[in-house]
């Protein structure tokens, strides 16, 4: 890939740019922010790590989207993060206008690009990006499920005393407190997780996963997580750029899948060169299906207050 635009040069955006470059996933990363000087300064600093980290990806910074003209992919991280006591949904009024203006610019300079949204409230910001760009559903996708699943996997690996690499899991639903970790699809190298972790511990891990973002917000005091979120966004970029056809939990536009339509919610997606190439519908227990629909309803409630 030649060019990726990363919009928002804050914690998530700058870390994403650095990870993209260190993996040499494209020839140029353009870091865009409204702050004067900041994206240029960060990009210069990051580019100067190239001779040490050994990458040839060029990182540039800009305030103007002209620098990202023709980019094949955008990763949107612009917007306010949470502060202690806030839910992701509390960010909606501040971030709708930001993601709206970002999407208008993307549409202008790169009408054929694939957009990975990270800004919160995630599922609703995906909706804003899709509506404003007018891009087909395959080309607008949100990062949240990989992060929620990574948190779940990390906690499980710890409890089971096994490598994180061997934990397979999937957290579906909206990126909020109603997310749905699928215990029945969670395993250690194919062996059911229940062989390794008892019911009580599993329940505690599900609870900690649901509050995983909030736990970090509270500890940081200002701002929210960015190392794991940027890793999640870059894993999606990697799957798309290399046409890997990976099955990853991503926020995707539903048109009847899982009994829901006209909203973004986290579901298992096949990611390849065309973006979201397929939504995989897995069998869910009655409780899981009900929890997923409830999570979708929570997303809809916030969507309903958005005026585009
Ligand atoms: P941050 O405050 O460090 O950075 C946000 C950046 O966006 C700032 O530099 C700001 O100047 C910039 N910005 C604001 N308006 C802009 C615009 N119109 N155009 C371009 N840039 C603009 O915040 P952060 O920690 O990087 O988080 C960014 C967003 O990502 C937040 O909304 C946060 O809630 C979200 N987030 C999502 C997930 C997820 O799982 N989806 C995880 C972590 C953070």
* Domain 3-142: assigned CATH number: 3.40.50.720
> Which of 75, 121, 146, 224 most suits a substitution to test ligand 1, by most atoms within 8 Å of the C-beta?
224
The residue contributing the CA closest to ligand 1 atom 31 is 81
pLDDT at residue 306, as a whole number = 93
E strand map for 153-229 = 167-168, 171-172, 180-181, 187-188, 191-192
Q: How far is the CA of 74 from the centre of ligand 1 (A)?
A: 14
pLDDT on residue 86: 85
Q: Which tokens is 258 given?
A: 């899982």
Verify whether residue 11 is a known catalytic residue: no
| d(CA 306, ligand 1 centre) in Å | 19
Q: Which residues of the chain fall short of a pLDDT of 70?
A: none
What pLDDT shows up at residue 83?
85
Tokens 């001779």, residue located = 51
**For position 82, what pLDDT does the model report?**
87
Q: Is 179 helix (H, G, I), strand (E, B) or coil?
A: coil
Q: Where do the DSSP E strands lie in the chain?
A: 3-7, 28-32, 58-62, 73-76, 114-117, 140-142, 167-168, 171-172, 180-181, 187-188, 191-192, 246-255, 261-272, 275-279
pLDDT of residue 176: 84
Look up the pTM and report it.
0.98
Q: Structural domain boundaries of the chain?
A: 3-142, 145-303
Ligand 1 closest atom vs CA 118: 41
- Tokens 């990126």 correspond to what residue? 175
* Å from CA of 142 to ligand 1 middle: 14
**pLDDT attached to residue 188:** 98
Measuring CA to CA, how many Å separate 75 from each of 102, 154, 217, 237, 281?
A: 11, 25, 22, 9, 26
Q: Please tell me which residue in 3, 42, 175, 210 is annotated as part of the active site.
A: 175
Question: Please, what CATH class does the domain formed by 145-303 belong to?
Answer: alpha beta
């Amino acid at each position: 890939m030649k060019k990726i635009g990363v919009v928002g040069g804050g914690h998530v955006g700058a870390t994403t740019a650095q990870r993209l470059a260190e993996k040499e996933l494209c020839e140029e990363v353009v870091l865009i922010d409204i702050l004067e000087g900041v994206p240029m300064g960060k990009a210069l600093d990051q580019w100067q790590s190239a001779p040490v980290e050994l990458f040839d990806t060029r990182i540039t910074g800009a305030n103007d989207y002209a620098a990202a003209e023709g980019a094949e992919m955008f990763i949107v991280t612009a917007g306010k993060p949470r502060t202690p006591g806030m839910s992701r949904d509390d960010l909606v009024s501040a971030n709708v206008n930001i993601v709206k203006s970002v999407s208008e610019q993307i549409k202008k300079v790169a009408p054929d690009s694939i957009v990975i949204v990270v800004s919160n409230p995630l599922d609703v910001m995906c909706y804003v990006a899709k509506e404003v760009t007018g891009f087909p559903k395959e080309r607008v996708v949100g990062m949240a499920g990989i992060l929620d699943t990574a948190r779940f996997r990390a906690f499980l690996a710890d409890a089971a005393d096994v490598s994180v690499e061997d934990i397979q899991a999937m957290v579906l639903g909206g990126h909020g407190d109603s997310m749905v970790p699928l215990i029945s699809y969670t395993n250690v190298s194919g062996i059911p997780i229940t062989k390794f972790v008892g019911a009580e511990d599993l329940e505690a891990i599900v609870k900690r996963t649901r509050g995983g973002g909030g736990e970090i917000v509270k500890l940081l005091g200002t701002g929210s997580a960015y190392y794991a979120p940027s890793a999640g966004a870059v894993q999606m970029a990697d799957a798309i750029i290399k046409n890997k056809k990976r099955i990853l939990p991503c926020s995707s536009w539903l048109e009847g899948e899982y009994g829901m339509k006209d909203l973004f919610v986290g579901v298992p997606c096949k990611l390849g060169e065309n973006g979201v190439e397929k939504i995989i519908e897995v069998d869910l227990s009655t409780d899981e299906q009900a929890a997923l629909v409830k999570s979708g309803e929570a997303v809809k409630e916030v969507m309903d207050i958005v005026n585009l």
